[in-house]
Amino acid sequence: MSEITIRPIDIRNISDDDARASHVLRVALAAERVPDDPVPKWEDTLGQLRSIPPFVDVWVWAVERDGETLGTADLGVMRTDENQHLAQFDIKLLPEARQQGIGKRLLKEIIAVADQEKRTLLMTSTSSTVPSGEAFLTRIGASVGLESHVNQLKLSEISHGLLDTWTSELAEGFTPGLWEGPYPEESIEEILQLFEIFNTVPRGEL
């Protein structure tokens, strides 16, 4: 079997080939983590890769074997006045690349950059639908900071007329609506206020 290599990627100048490989990996991992969700779109992946805010620095590594991308890792550092001790990272590996020490090799790269940036706390997330993620974090000594739950509603199981009932029960002054694509400019201020509500949610041990 060929040797597995790990190489850095300049994410702000990512090549088309690396972007496409990232998308293929994203699709494969999404099928494992959220099998009921729609397949990620190439346009969305490309948009995320090429729209990193200027106040965020990101380091990215690709895991490859025989020209195939088996996984990636990334570390993000926000250049803000808050949480200057914190960095966020992610390690994503295809099932066939797990339990081979690759995650620890990637973590070594991540920690080296975190030390260089004087970040003393690393934060990441995992999903119950991919138990190997939690197992890996447990092995390296990570602790749980916050647990969240996701509820999914299958539209095919909604009884006819139920949405009309919900709409009729909306409090005075509220109306249902649908936006496709970017938020409309005339509603940006209201959307910002809505996002501010996220700062009031429970933070667990964070």
Q: Residue 142: how many CB atoms within 10 A of its CB?
A: 14
Q: Is the pLDDT of residue 66 over 80?
A: yes
HSE-CB at 160 with a 13 A cutoff on CA atoms is 0
Domain range annotation of the chain = 5-149
Q: pTM of the predicted model, to two decimals?
A: 0.82
Instruction: Indicate the CATH number of 5-149 among 3.40.50.300, 3.40.630.30, 1.10.1200.10, 3.30.930.10.
Output: 3.40.630.30
Alpha carbons 46 and 16: distance in angstroms, whole number: 9
For 19, 46, 64, the CA distances from 50, given in Å and listed in that order, are: 9, 6, 22
* Tens digit of each residue's pLDDT (9 = 90 or more) over 95-134: 999 999 999 999 999 999 999 999 999 999 999 999 999 9
* Tens digit of each residue's pLDDT (9 = 90 or more) over 1-45: 689 999 999 999 999 999 999 999 999 999 999 998 999 999 999
Report whether 10 contacts 61 (CB < 8 A): no
- In 3D space, the residue among 82, 89, 22, 17 whose CA is nearest the CA of residue 57 turns out to be 89
Alpha carbons 176 and 185: distance in angstroms, whole number: 18
For 2, 59, 92, 110, 160, the CA distances from 75, given in Å and listed in that order, are: 27, 5, 12, 6, 46
Q: Residue 111: how many CB atoms within 10 A of its CB?
A: 15
6: three-class secondary structure by DSSP: strand
Q: Once rounded to an integer, what is the mean pLDDT over residues 68-77?
A: 98
Report the pLDDT value the prediction gives residue 1, as an integer from 0 to 100.
60
